[in-house]
Structure 1
């Protein structure tokens, strides 16, 4: 059955409309993927790409800056990711920028986020390799959470066991909670501790008062702390040392004298040990006494002598004149 002209026109219209929609979709997708603009390639090295695929977006500070061009595995721990960056955004990316792989939303595709680095650095050029930072993967987080949940379950089981033993009165805590007598003893002990603490506080206050009074100049310690008293005491001690030195010298001289007397040296030993000398001294003193008596008698005789009587009378008159006034 041959098609009519109207059907042919409709078919052509739908083909043209489909082609137009396809070209428009390709244009918008290509524009979003920066396929029609001027682009520059830079790279980053990762340990794990976390499911990154070719064509995924590359963002710089939250703005779409390019797409992932190539993913090449260099060795078991090094993966190189090549990125096509829009030339308009490239001057803003510095060489100290850091690339990370993250998720576009909670369940979105993996993307590369480029974060600005600290300080001022030169803009990147074609073929440069920027630094990278590998974040913790979701699988690692879930694994850690799983281990944490297992540990929490073990701790919960142990806690239930401990609380059951406490409720049954087992252990020290259970005994304290269920034994009224021990609770009363503990209460009494705390009361005694309170009384002891109060006495200790009073003792500390008294000790503080005593320490404060040590600086008072009216007590012994205060006097000792006085610099004037310290100088006087120092002077007295110095004089005592000098006096002690003089006494030592006198004692030494006295010891020497006594030693000489014991050894027969000096006049003291000679007088004490020579009886003839003592008799001579005694006889001499006797003769001196006798001579004194005779001298008095001679003077008395001179008074009665006719030649000296006038002299003695004059002397008596002078004495009487001196006595009268």
Structure 2
């Protein structure tokens, strides 16, 4: 039986299309000739996960990601085609992870410990492992802080290398040296003062010891002073003060009379005529005494032979030498 060319072309076209479909599915990770089970998980974000990425359990591939669908609530639903006959506990977690820095994202199943086994079409709990970049954020922050500190150190070093700053540092060291010398002198003075202070404290201790030894005597002296104070307090101080007040009143009355010119003392102090008379009498008495000294024969005359008296000298003509 002869086959027509059109039939041959149709058969070859069908085989080509079949190979194309099988190859496309194979490249997408779909195993056409094996039975697969379908499971699901919903993620808030897929973090770079794509279709046909492997599904792993303990690093062993058990299937592939078949579909990624965007739900109305903007979450992503992933479908996993599992080819291995592996039982999954219902509390297992389908987590998106990055196995290394170069490859893409994969699904890693973390098997739970539940006794209930998930049937085909079960939706597992989802999870997303922290990316390496996210885990490196604390390191990045610490590196940033370290760079800021290094910048501060370099700025300080630059300031130290500045000639003006070096001059300031030299001046500061000189000031510190002068201060240390002054402090050394002060320390010496303080040591001397400390010795004096020790002597003073020793004297104070000695005085305290003497006071302690003479405590009984001091107590008796204080008791005597207390008795004297009591006796003075018991004296008739009121009567003494009253007599003193009367005496002062009498003296005040006498002074008032003197000021008014009453009595001899008052007349003597207040009568100008009496003062002038007394002054004149004193002057006449002075002249009399001078005349008596210059002319004694005028007042006492004695002569055995009747000698003629000498010439009289008036007191007014004599200059009295001091």
Of structures 1 and 2, the larger Rg is shown by 2
Question: TM-score, structure 2 length as denominator?
Answer: 0.39
Taking structure 1 as the reference length, the TM-score comes to 0.39
